[in-house]
Chain A
């Protein structure tokens, strides 16, 4: 742990501090590692993007924080939220944090709302349970929030059921529900992946805007680098359950230092670059799960692999102010 240097130089206490977070799943064929020693800090009000391919473990980080891992999953390490280790809490203690100080928005808005309950009652539920509001007050508050996420005719629509809403509207309902309690931290798990491209931007901007207003810090998990560029202050690139690189968003896009980040950026279409017949791809298939690995998880696909990449684990270390990277190439260069 001693070599892990925290990135944020802010004097303020971080809101969330992941320390060597691991998530493992017991499977019939043995144990698999989804998140492999992730350490990240998040300042109050900050927007952190976690990017990675499918199976890189990015969503499992959020589930671990919320105590929502599948029953065969187990989280290790520490996740300090305002100094309190979320992983050490019982289900009942966690219920005093979830939905109040930490909220979560899920990937699929079509199935994430209760189909049997009116939208307004789903919004009101948290307020009734956590804040002890009366049903009428909680409903009024819910309608107000629907209005703020720009659901037209909110008072009438609030009494409808989720299936009477479009996908984009449902995700805005989820955002309203998540921000209703004015949480300090919002966890968003690919909130726009299931939506039409045309409304993805709307939903993201809305989330960011409301987050800024309420001073809510956001952890945004996505595989969409465009989304990251649009919203995030800081980015962590995840591969095989480990942080490959972490930097301010602009710095990451301008000067990616890790071979994997460079591969990711090459695979992203850009307006300013000449139109090439093919987008860049990273050769090989992403590593997902599996047991412990001695070297760098990306080594098998890396074009700049050194001899000891497969045998020695590169350490995430500071390469510049506000920057960390885990790569033997960078170690060799410095």
Chain B
């Protein structure tokens, strides 16, 4: 098992290195730079600013500087947000995104799996149709429609939660968490239902029933593992995506997370911030993928024995 994890980590590191290198150079290929503005600045000032950020150096030196910085856990100063380093920006935004994302994925997993299982076990029953409806609505209706609707109803009409911001403690995070969880509840419940129905049809489940060990035991020790494997595979990347923040959610609910930096940094050609965000998202994605691989390998011996 340790060898398995070691190998996955090694591959993950390689992937991350490739991702970061590619991002670094592709970003430089795009026309424009952090300080090319419509506003006219004198060439001397421009040169001074660029020298301050080492943008006058050859590309390979800048890349070396970036790699050296990463190794020292320093991503450099942001070119857009003056007086802030990329480390500061991520450190200030990540806790909000992490909190919202964590609860969203926990709720999505629990509710989604429960709905999916209920649907699979009682096919074409009321809970199944209910889960199906929630699923279709959750997948089809975009967040930017559900979000404002929830704000209008739960915040403005009922006054249960604040419309936005993070000044109200946990209460202010409830709406963003729910809105972020909804599409995932929908997707996870569909996935669970399909995979569970498939597993219930498998021959080894029939063998278990033939052993007469009781329906409950058939479910817990013969159906559940197989039914949840695809769900776990989905949860890995989904968790990485969700906890690195959603720009829509954070904009809608005025949450100072890091989701908004994803788009802003690229638009502003804020090179250090783009690299920081790439590193963070790529790293998390790879880590969670390794995590799901490990869990799947624990549950399924056939994955464990792959080479």
Closest to B208 in A: A114
A163 and B211: CB pair below 8 A? Answer: no
A91 to B212 alpha-carbon distance, docked (Å): 9
Q: Are B302 and A91 neighbours in the complex by a CB distance under 8 Å?
A: no
Q: Give the dominant DSSP class at B's interface.
A: helix
* B209 on the A face (CB < 8 A): yes
Instruction: Report if B54 contacts A (CB, 8 A).
Output: no
Contact A103 B210, beta carbon cutoff 8 Å: yes
Which of A97, A116, A161 counts the most chain B CB atoms within 10 A?
Answer: A116
Contact of B203 among A99, A106, A130, A163 (CB under 8 A): A106
Q: Which among A68, A114, A163 has the highest number of chain B CB atoms within 10 Å?
A: A114
B186 to chain A, nearest CB (A): 26
Question: Quick check: B211 and A177 within 8 Å, CB to CB?
Answer: yes
| Number of B interface residues in the complex (CB < 8 A) | 23
A141 within 8 A of B: no
Partner of B212, one of A96, A108, A114, A117: A96
Q: Decide if A115 touches B213 in the complex (CB within 8 Å).
A: no
Answer whether residue A143 sits at the interface, using C-beta atoms and an 8 A cutoff: no
A66 interface contact, C-beta 8 A: yes
Interface size class of A (residues with CB under 8 A): 20 to 34
CB contact under 8 A between A126 and B207, given known A161-B302, A163-B305:
no
Asked if A100 is an interface residue, CB under 8 A from chain B, the answer is: yes
Instruction: Tell me whether B221 is interfacial, beta carbon within 8 Å.
Output: yes
A68 with B212: CB separation less than 8 A: no
Q: Give the distance to chain A from B224, nearest Cβ to Cβ, in Å.
A: 9
B217 at interface, CB cutoff 8 A: yes
Residues on B with C-beta less than 8 A from A100 are: 212
A161: chain B residues at CB < 8 Å are 301-302
For A110-127 the 0/1 string (1 means CB < 8 A from B) is 011111110000000110
In the bound complex, do residue A99 and residue B211 qualify as a contact, i.e. CB atoms below 8 Å apart?
Answer: yes
Q: Are B202 and A111 in contact (CB under 8 A)?
A: yes
Is A13 among interface residues, defined by CB-CB distance under 8 A?
no
Interface residues of B in 122-173 (CB under 8 A from A): none
Complex Cα spacing A93 to B184, Å? 40
Which residue of chain A has the shortest Cβ distance to B223 in the bound complex?
Answer: A114
Do B204 and A99 have beta carbons less than 8 Å apart? Answer: no
Q: Which of these, B211, B226, B300, B302, contacts A98 with CB under 8 Å?
A: B211
Q: Are A129 and B209 in contact (CB under 8 A)?
A: no
Beta-carbon contact of B203 and A129 below 8 Å: no
With A108-B203, A112-B204, A116-B225 given, is the CB distance from A126 to B212 under 8 Å? yes
Judge whether B222 is part of the interface by a CB distance below 8 angstroms: yes
With A129-B217, A161-B302, A163-B302 as known contacts, state yes or no: A113 contacts B212, CB within 8 Å. no
Please give the residue numbers on chain A whose beta carbons come within 8 Å of chain B beta carbons, in ascending order.
Answer: 66-68, 91-92, 94-100, 103-104, 106, 108, 111-117, 125-126, 129-130, 161, 163-164, 174, 177
Instruction: Known A-B contacts: A104-B210, A116-B300. Give 13 more (CB < 8 A).
Output: A68-B206, A98-B209, A99-B210, A106-B210, A112-B203, A112-B206, A115-B204, A115-B301, A117-B222, A126-B212, A129-B212, A161-B302, A164-B305
Q: Can you give 16 A-B contacts (C-beta < 8 A)?
A: A66-B210, A68-B209, A68-B210, A94-B212, A95-B213, A98-B212, A111-B202, A112-B206, A112-B207, A113-B204, A114-B221, A114-B222, A116-B299, A116-B301, A129-B213, A177-B207
A-B pairs, 3 with minimum CB distance: A98-B212, A99-B212, A99-B211
